[in-house]
Amino acid sequence: MKRVATFVLLCVFFTSSFAYAGVVDSFGFLRQKAGYAELIRQIRGNGDARKADVLRKGLVSLTDPDLSEEQNLVATIRASLAYGRLLVKDGPVLNKREGQDVVREALGLIDRLPDDSFYRLALTADAYSLLYLSDTGDLSNGIESQKALSKAYRKYPDEFYSIYLKANNLVFAPVLFGGNVSKGLDMLLDLYKKAGSEVAPWDLASLCGVIGIACYKTKAYDKAREYLESANRMYPVDSEIKEYLAKVEAT
């Protein structure tokens, strides 16, 4: 998860958008998307790229009639980005070139989303973050991710994923570029308190993982172990969580 950027103003209630204590989760509809949970289980639970790719392509070819056209497109994009991450960072066998191709294809689909919409900004931040992770020598991808996540947080400050992206950036960015681990940790803990028990398990695992890393960085090692182990129990295929668990055990 080494993310340089690696990310409604009012609480509007739609069947696809869930709100908890003032936090809106517009990605919450993915729990209703047939096959999506199984795809994430294969990616983040088993690290099985072959099965994940089959499931991902199945999601692309099947339109869920209970979801809007935009939601089906968003599900396709997020599935591709999750698969791309497995290939460029977390899988037992990496294939960065294929992962980059998958992410670039997702960027083409992102262009079909409305300009400056929450979905477009959040997914753009994720996509460019993954491209940066696959080639840290290309700083332009990190810059594009940073621009998108900053705009997402500015325009949609009540969105779960906007807050997560902003806090994540504070935790991982160098101080010279605006990093502030303590501030990021405070945001993450507040987000966990307000919405952690209600969001999809894959988002909860990501949230717990970054909280654990932030706790480690602030030398709160017992809390770091607690959150990292929780994230690892939910979805063990995450190279960075394992890296920080090893660091905690070494302290």
Rounded Cα gap, residues 49 and 237, in angstroms: 11
Sign of CA dihedral 63, 69, 74, 77: positive
Task: Yes or no: say if 153 and 162 are a contact pair by the CB < 8 Å rule.
Answer: yes
Contacts of 86 (CB under 8 A, 6+ apart): 43, 44, 47, 49, 52, 99, 237
Sign of CA dihedral 139, 114, 207, 232: negative
Summarised one tens digit per residue, pLDDT across range 41-83 is 999 999 999 999 999 999 888 888 999 999 999 999 999 999 9
Instruction: Please give the C-alpha separations between residue 209 and each of 118, 146, 197, in angstroms, as whole numbers.
Output: 23, 20, 15
Q: Is 0.85 topped by the overall pTM?
A: yes
Task: List the chain domain ranges.
Answer: 18-250
> What pLDDT score was predicted for residue 62?
82
Collect the ranges in the chain with pLDDT lower than 50: 1-17
Summarised one tens digit per residue, pLDDT across range 182-192 is 999 999 999 99
Rounded Cα gap, residues 156 and 68, in angstroms: 21
CATH fold group of domain 18-250: 1.25.40
